[in-house]
Structure 1
């Protein structure tokens, strides 16, 4: 997938994410981001196993939570670091749009993955991405990303069956340019 920066994606929930560019670094490429999040919106509890993420609040009130901990808050000028392998979520805790700038490092497949997730949400019209697309992405990139609050039965039974059915039905042709997953 050849990305031209800046690259903006938006889902049906009012979340907008702009990938501003990529900076090379000793720990791998760092993708620079700007998030725009509607009040009470934000990504669900998730984990990126191979990447760190930092967000700095530009305007608004950021709420964030590490799995098993109480929510915390950050205001304009404050930064939050989410370390790789730690399940976390964040959301707009204010009444106005939340704008954050930050980075994800190393970049790996994050631009492709999030672009595909937003497209799958737009396809379904709700928080839950279109099931076949979600099953494909969660299976292909299982070593890189996880949805921390999905029940084990869904992860170990429903998603693999959905993935297999999607493969049989030819549902994954639009993923032909999907980057190779990391091991």
Structure 2
């Protein structure tokens, strides 16, 4: 897979998250993307899932809360690590009063940097967590075999998003996605 960004590549969203995709490493014949993130107090991504990837986060500084769907919330401090397995719906947040700093990896690398860059850009464009409706619908529909968000109702994902994407195509809203990597089936 060709990566659309040079490494390191840093993205941010208006909700208090900064992620740096540091580089790609080869591990047992699989491409692993190393990441660093900073999360403002009280911030963090909503429940989400990576269907094709494992994700590991190690707290470098601060306190991280995390939860695997259906389980109790847990806390990690500096030096502690969590691994979220493929298909495991999860969330994490800054549970402290200082900036949370983590390092980690995503394996295999796949399209995560492209997907999150698009989602964060959409959020910044709209100035809200839902992002721009056309961009969010495009990304969530195109990469539905790879990523999902628990908070989006099934009806929206199955009916509203595809209709929004069709309207967006008709209106010429997706020129900036012309080089979007193909989703992994």
TM-score range, shorter chain: over 0.9
Distance in 1 separating the partners of 2:29 and 2:142: 24
Distance in 2 separating the partners of 1:139 and 1:125: 21
| Structure 1 residues without counterparts, runs of 5 or longer | none
Which residue in 2 is equivalent to 1:4? Answer: 6
Matches within 5 A, 1:7-156: 7-26=9-28, 28-156=30-158
Per-residue deviation at 1:71?
A: 0.9
Per-residue deviation at 1:149?
A: 2.4
Task: Name the SS of the counterpart of 1:120 in structure 2.
Answer: helix
* CA contact 2:21–2:33 (8 Å) conserved in 1: yes
Distance in 2 separating the partners of 1:182 and 1:12: 28
Moved over 4 A (4+): none
Per-residue deviation at 1:14?
A: 2.0
| Structure 2 residues without counterparts, runs of 5 or longer | none
Distance in 2 separating the partners of 1:126 and 1:135: 15
Per-residue deviation at 1:27?
A: 5.1
Per-residue deviation at 1:32?
A: 0.3
Distance in 2 separating the partners of 1:110 and 1:27: 18
* CA contact 1:27–1:105 (8 Å) conserved in 2: no
* CA contact 2:4–2:114 (8 Å) conserved in 1: no
Which residue in 2 is equivalent to 1:161? Answer: 163
Query: What is the TM-score with the length of structure 1 in the denominator?
Result: 0.97
Task: Name the SS of the counterpart of 1:29 in structure 2.
Answer: strand
Provide the aligned C-alpha RMSD in A: 1.0
Distance in 2 separating the partners of 1:27 and 1:20: 19
Which residue in 2 is equivalent to 1:180? Answer: 182
Distance in 1 separating the partners of 2:162 and 2:57: 33
* CA contact 2:16–2:44 (8 Å) conserved in 1: no
